[in-house]
Amino acid sequence: MSTLRRRAAHLKSKLEDLAQDATAPLALGLPVQHWPRWLGDLHQVKVPANVSPNPSPAPVGSANIRILFRLLTDSLHAPGDVAECGVFRGKTLIPTGLLLAQNAPEKSLFGFDSFEGFDDAVNKDIALGGEPDPGKKVGGFGETSYPALEARRQRLHLDRVHLVKGFFRDTLPQVADRKFCFVHLDCDLYDSYAECLAFFYPRLSPGAAVLFDEYNDPRWPGCNQAVDEFLADKPEALVEIEVDNQQKWYFRKV
């Protein structure tokens, strides 16, 4: 990148920071479900106004925010905190934290991610096949930044949102003493889904929901395999939910 381009990128980043600082009071005061498109785009998060429905019903796509908000809201009566595994750039973590701050401020949100991309566990999923995806490689989805996301968290005063950096096998034990009312699993890989399910299931309160981002996604068959294996001897059954032509699957703890 030339010096001129670097300076332009730096200036653009500084202007975005200033704009986000200036609009933070509005963002905090307006229910996140009703943010206008420009506000969601500015803060780099998904809100209903800046997400387009899928052209036809499908388990892939990016129109999952209404589903996330609906299941989360319906789970707030259950005791416990909230977790997201697979944060990446925080496009769903930040709005989840805002919804909690505005509706259940006593609950904490834990966002787990390596912030380094996949390790060699992805090789198992490559061997499982499925449709190609540019992130299906060692280091895939590594184009994120813990410091940048932490700065956005602080800018919006999300004091009960905790970013937990590291691989799930190392970081999940940090919250072993907590109960959970809602868990959003967006972690792609067989091993990641298996680890997260084994950890969270005994810590779910009755009525808690677990939402799967990659279930039936043809790129990530390891999700189906891990979920189906885990639930095979459990009383819970998967439930399909469809909003904006986005199909997702979840279960509620009995």
- φ, ψ for residue 250, nearest 5 deg: -150, 170
- φ, ψ for residue 209, nearest 5 deg: -115, 145
What is the CATH class of 52-252?
A: alpha beta
pTM beyond 0.85: the answer is yes
For 1-38, the pLDDT digits (tens) are: 678 888 887 788 888 889 999 999 999 999 999 999 99
Mean per-residue pLDDT for 208-216?
Answer: 98
Beta strands, E only, the chain: 81-85, 109-113, 161-165, 180-185, 204-212, 239-243, 246-252
Residue 164 and residue 81: Cα distance in Å, rounded?
Answer: 14
Quote the pLDDT of residue 1. Answer: 60
- Which two three-digit tokens encode residue 153? 């968290």
Domain residue ranges of the chain, discontinuous segments joined by +: 52-252
Mean per-residue pLDDT for 213-225?
Answer: 98
For 94-123, the pLDDT digits (tens) are: 999 999 999 999 999 999 999 999 999 999
CB 184 within 8 A of CB 84: yes
- Mean pLDDT estimate for the chain: 96
Q: Could you tell me the strand order of the sheet in which 81-85 lies?
A: 161-165, 109-113, 81-85, 180-185, 204-212, 246-252, 239-243
CA distance readout (Å), 123 to 87, 103, 119: 21, 41, 9
With a CB cutoff of 8 Å and minimum separation 6, the contacts of 31 are 102
